[in-house]
Amino acid sequence: MSSGAESEERKFAAEWARFLGADFSVPTANGSSAIVACLESAGVSYGDEVLVPGLSWVACASAVARVGAVPVFVDLDAESYGMDPIVAEALISKRTAAVLLTHLSSSIADIDSFQRICADHGLILIEDCSQAHGAVWRGSRVGSFGDFAAFSFQSSKLLTAGEGGAAVARTERNFMALQEARADGRSWSNEPARKHFPDLAVGSSLCQGHNFCMTEFQAAILRESLRHLDGQNRKRIERVALLEELLEGIPGVRTVRRRNDPRVDVPTFWHLPIQIEASEFGGADAERVRCLLSERVGLYLEPVGAPIPAHDLYRPGLYNRFPREHIRLLKAQHVPLPISSLLSETCFTLPHHALLADESCITEFADRLSEVRTDLIRERA
Ligand SMILES: *Cc1c(COP(=O)(O)O)cnc(C)c1O
């Protein structure tokens, strides 16, 4: 019910769209529901195929499977940690309807190539910016390039309210569809807010809706946090510059992200992937280094996780709401993804909050990593 004032939810929606330089934004319960809302608003449905990253959080694929479409996995580029546009284009079929272009870890995807691919093949471009809040590509924020964009504000993300999400659209029609997807088919009222009356109208029935609504409490937290996002992103840029300088002095270690690309104006750092060359660490793999280093710095360094089709949490075979033939199609997407597998096996990640620490902590992190390396080499000898 309305308090008589404009809701925090609608204020955040407007502020988020303004921050992104996007046309329209609709807050949602979480990032996964934002992706579902984008797919349904775009008309992606049963039997369609959607290109998704081979290595990412499982929701990139499970949200696609949930609307009845088939996620088709695109391998990554080993240097940039981005979805590989050449691989993606080769996977396009008559059934391909959309691309879920995910800005992964600490890299902006090659947006220009995917915009060209989507234009050439008549595909819907949905950016998944759940790991890249505030990143800037060729002068504009990520989330403003696609037909749609989805964001997560879950507790691990750069901007968070514990849980939460947002969907972004370009056109009024899609904005209306997203509103309906969010609130069981209803949209925001055009009437002035009235105390004790709901801020809802019966929509134009573009979408069969769900309850994907964000709470007032989450919206209020996000409005406040948004004021700090750019400053925090700037600080992380400085810390990463220092860390990378220090890592240059340690053989067999590098960060994996899109670098030396003039199209990236402001990079964001979510989980910074650090790649380990086992031969330089006495034969120890990234997992061994991750465990030792986590203990020594007293900070949980996250593993990258398996490529989605091999991930324990991605189990499309458990759906029993689709015909067997469709389930077989979902399972058939368990394809080899050599670069995703390589990155998953050779990297661990440094979480973004550690990159807000003092410079001395960054120096200590590099020192501890160097020590771990020396110990592992000595152990081998
Ligand atoms: C976190 C994340 C999601 C899912 O967001 P939730 O808020 O957890 O539902 C989707 N895509 C990517 C790339 C993510 O990192």
Helix, strand or coil, per DSSP, at residue 355: helix
Name residues whose C-beta falls within 8 Å of residue 227's C-beta, 6 or more positions apart in sequence: none
* Cα gap 354→351, rounded to integer Å: 6
Answer yes or no: do 248 and 220 share one domain.
no
| Lowest-confidence pick of 127-131, 304-308, 328-332 | 328-332
> Looking at residue 275, what is its pLDDT?
98
Answer yes or no: do 13 and 139 share one domain.
yes
Averaged over 309-320, what is the pLDDT? 92
Residue 325 lies in a domain: no
Does residue 128's CB lie within 6 angstroms of at least one atom of ligand 1? yes
Residue 137 lies in a domain: yes
CB 337 within 8 A of CB 73: yes
Residue whose CB lies within 8 A of the most ligand 1 atoms, among 60, 126, 153, 157, for a mutation test: 60
> Looking at residue 374, what is its pLDDT?
98
The residue among 194, 211, 226 that closes a domain is 226
User: pLDDT band for position 2 (50/70/90)?
Assistant: confident
Averaged over 334-343, what is the pLDDT? 95
User: pLDDT band for position 244 (50/70/90)?
Assistant: very high
For residue 143, give both structure tokens: 């989330």
Q: What residue owns the CA closest to ligand 1's atom 13?
A: 130
Report the percentage of the chain scoring pLDDT > 90: 91
Domain tally, the chain = 2
Residue 319 lies in a domain: no
Strands 96-102 and 140-141: unpaired
Domain housing 376: 229-304+340-380
Q: Tell which residue, 262, 270, 250, has the closest CA to residue 372.
A: 250
The residue among 197, 226, 255 that closes a domain is 226
Residue 57 lies in a domain: yes
Answer yes or no: do 221 and 259 share one domain.
no
Answer yes or no: do 172 and 29 share one domain.
yes
Q: Note the pLDDT tens digit of each residue in 195-214.
A: 888 888 987 889 899 999 99
Answer yes or no: do 16 and 161 share one domain.
yes
pTM, two decimals, is 0.97
Answer yes or no: do 154 and 257 share one domain.
no
Q: Ligand 1, closest atom to CA 30?
A: 7
Strand partners, 275: 254, 347
Strand partners, 241: none
Residue 333 lies in a domain: no
> Looking at residue 380, what is its pLDDT?
87
Answer yes or no: do 211 and 344 share one domain.
no
> Looking at residue 152, what is its pLDDT?
98
What's phi and psi for 215, nearest 5 deg? -85, 160
Residue 276 lies in a domain: yes
Answer yes or no: do 366 and 254 share one domain.
yes
Answer yes or no: do 145 and 294 share one domain.
no
Residue whose CB lies within 8 A of the most ligand 1 atoms, among 129, 154, 304, for a mutation test: 154
Q: Note the pLDDT tens digit of each residue in 41-53.
A: 999 999 999 999 9
Q: Ligand 1, closest atom to CA 163?
A: 7
Q: Which one-letter amino acid corresponds to residue 305?
A: G
Residue 311 lies in a domain: no
Q: Note the pLDDT tens digit of each residue in 96-139.
A: 999 999 999 999 999 999 999 999 999 999 999 999 999 999 99
Q: How far is the CA of 34 from the centre of ligand 1 (A)?
A: 9
Residue whose CB lies within 8 A of the most ligand 1 atoms, among 28, 30, 32, for a mutation test: 32
Answer yes or no: do 190 and 267 share one domain.
no
User: pLDDT band for position 81 (50/70/90)?
Assistant: very high
- E strand intervals along the chain: 24-28, 49-53, 70-74, 96-102, 124-128, 136-137, 140-141, 148-152, 165-169, 186-188, 200-202, 253-255, 264-266, 271-276, 302-303, 347-351
Residue 16 lies in a domain: yes
Q: Which CATH number belongs to the domain containing residue 123 in this structure? A: 3.40.640.10
Answer yes or no: do 185 and 65 share one domain.
yes
For residue 164, how far is the Cα from the chain centroid?
A: 13
Does residue 31's CB lie within 6 angstroms of at least one atom of ligand 1? yes
> Looking at residue 4, what is its pLDDT?
85
Q: Which CATH number belongs to the domain containing residue 255 in this structure? A: 3.90.1150.10
Q: Note the pLDDT tens digit of each residue in 274-304.
A: 999 999 999 999 999 999 999 999 999 999 9
The residue among 178, 207, 226 that closes a domain is 226
Does residue 154's CB lie within 6 angstroms of at least one atom of ligand 1? yes
Answer yes or no: do 172 and 296 share one domain.
no
Computed over every residue of the chain, the mean pLDDT equals 96
